[in-house]
Amino acid sequence: MPIKRKSPSKTTSAAKKKAAKPRAARKSSAKSGAKPGAISIAKPTLKAVVLAALDDMKALEVKLLDVRGLTDIADFMVIASGTSDRHVRSVAQRVVEKTKEAGYRPHGVEGQQDADWVLIDLNDMIVHVMLPRVREFYGLEKLWDMTSAKRAAARA
């Protein structure tokens, strides 16, 4: 005597709901992203990654400027110097490598060809690495460095 088997198309809606519940439970636990007992590692801040990369490559005269109240293009601006065009290029390349490793994608890099002044756009932060003579000529610190006293005077 042949055995009767149910065809998959004839399953009841109650059976479908039962089968769907464990799948939904799995999705919600996957969205939390944490396994039970797993240790969560905090992502380093962009500022910390950039400053560590500049320190690692021995960039000179590193200056971090908070430009949040001055412009909408970035929150911070970092200005650093290198000893030669090769050093400037290497410092900029290390900053790009370290930020990519940390999960921050650079929006653009300009000036690597000549390497007198390399600009790295990291969305929330702009990094300028330049030769000392170029840095002195353009004087970006004077343009963007606004202490709280200067900001209050500028608003008045």
Give the pLDDT of residue 102: 94
The third-level CATH classification (topology) of the domain covering 46-135 is Beta Polymerase; domain 2 (3.30.460)
Which region holds residue 60: left if phi is over 0, alpha if psi is between -120 and 50, else beta?
Answer: beta
Give the pLDDT of residue 145: 81
- Domain regions of the chain by residue span: 46-135
Mean pLDDT of each 10-residue bin along the chain, 156 residues long: 58 52 45 57 89 95 91 94 96 96 94 93 95 94 75 65
**Can you tell me whether residue 151 is helix, strand or coil?**
helix
| String of DSSP letters for 12-47 | -HHHHHHHHHHHHHHHHHHHH---TTPPPPPPPPHH
Model confidence pLDDT, tens digit, residues 4-14: 665 555 555 55
Exposed / middle / buried, residue 37 (Cβ in 10 Å: 0-12, 13-18, 19+): exposed
| String of DSSP letters for 52-113 | HHHHHTT-EEEEEEE-TTT-SS-SEEEEEE-SSHHHHHHHHHHHHHHHHHTT---SEEE-TT
Give the pLDDT of residue 110: 95
Quickly tell me which residue has 């797993």 as its tokens: 38
Which helix or strand (DSSP H or E) is residue 51 part of? helix 46-56
Radius of gyration in angstroms for the set of CA atoms belonging to the chain, rounded to a whole number: 27
Give the pLDDT of residue 69: 83
Give the pLDDT of residue 70: 87
Q: Which two tokens stand for residue 126?
A: 């702009």
Q: Which two tokens stand for residue 106?
A: 């650079």
